[in-house]
Amino acid sequence: MSTTEKLFVDTNVFAYVYDAGYPQRSELAKEWLQRLWREQTGRTSVQVLNELYVILTRKLKRKMSADDAWEIVQALLAWSPQPVDRELLLRGREIEQRYRLSWWDSLIVAAAQLQDCDVLLTEDLQAGARFGRVLVRNPFETAVREPAGNYVATERLPSRHRPRGRPRKRSQRTEPSTNP
C-alpha cells in the first residue's frame, strides 16, 4: 500500500483500540492507527465519530468517562471527517439501491467515496468487495504492511487461441484432380 492512498476507518477499528476483551484485534487496530497518523492518510466521518463516542461511553465492558471519550473523538477531528450533509445522504441512497447495503453501511461507503479513499478498513463488509474505486479490507485479517492489491494494467498479449466466429476457409491446394 502506498503512502498516498487514503484509508477510510470504520468505527470497529477505532473501538478495538480500547476494547481489552480482544487483545489481538486491539494490537492490530493500534498498528493501523499509528501508521495512519504517521502517514496522515486516515479518513473517517462524523457518523463514525458519533458511533465511537457511544461505544466508548456505553458499550465497552470497561466504559470510559464522557470526558475521556470526547478527548479521543476530538483528536480525530484532525482527520477532517466527512460531515453528514445533503451530498452524503444522496450518495448513500444511490449506494443503498445499487449494492443493497444497509443504510448505515451505505453512508460509510459514501463517506469513503466522497473523501476519495482507496481503501475502507472495516470488518462489517465483505473483504475484497469493491464499491467504485473503494476496496474493502478487513484490518484484522490483513497485516498492516501488506499491499492493498492495486495493480497496474499491463499490455495485453496476443491470444494463442483462434478467435470465435466463423472458421476460416482452408487454403485450396493445387493437386491434380482425379475426376475426368
Residue 39 lies in a domain: yes
Residue 57 lies in a domain: yes
Residue 64 lies in a domain: yes
Q: Which helix or strand (DSSP H or E) is residue 93 part of? A: helix 86-99
Q: What is the pLDDT of residues 145-174, one digit of tens each?
A: 654 444 333 344 444 444 554 555 555 555
* Stretch among 34-43, 57-66, 155-164 having the lowest mean pLDDT: 155-164
Q: Domains in the chain: how many in total?
A: 1
> What CATH number is attached to the domain comprising 77?
3.40.50.1010
Residue 170 lies in a domain: no
Residue 155 lies in a domain: no
Residue 179 lies in a domain: no
Residue 92 lies in a domain: yes
Can you tell me the distance from the alpha carbon of 98 to that of 154, in angstroms, rounded to the nearest whole number? 30
Q: What is the pLDDT of residues 82-134, one digit of tens each?
A: 999 999 999 999 999 999 999 999 999 999 999 999 999 999 999 999 999 99
Neighbours of 108 (CB within 10 A): 30
Q: Which three cell numbers stand for residue 85?
A: 450533509
Which pTM does this prediction carry? 0.78
List, in sequence order, every residue forming a beta bridge with 80; answer none if it has no partner: none
Residue 82 lies in a domain: yes
With b for 16 or more beta-carbon neighbours within 10 A and e for fewer, the 29-55 pattern comes to beebbebbeeeebbbbbbbbbebbbeb
- Domain range for 110 is 7-137
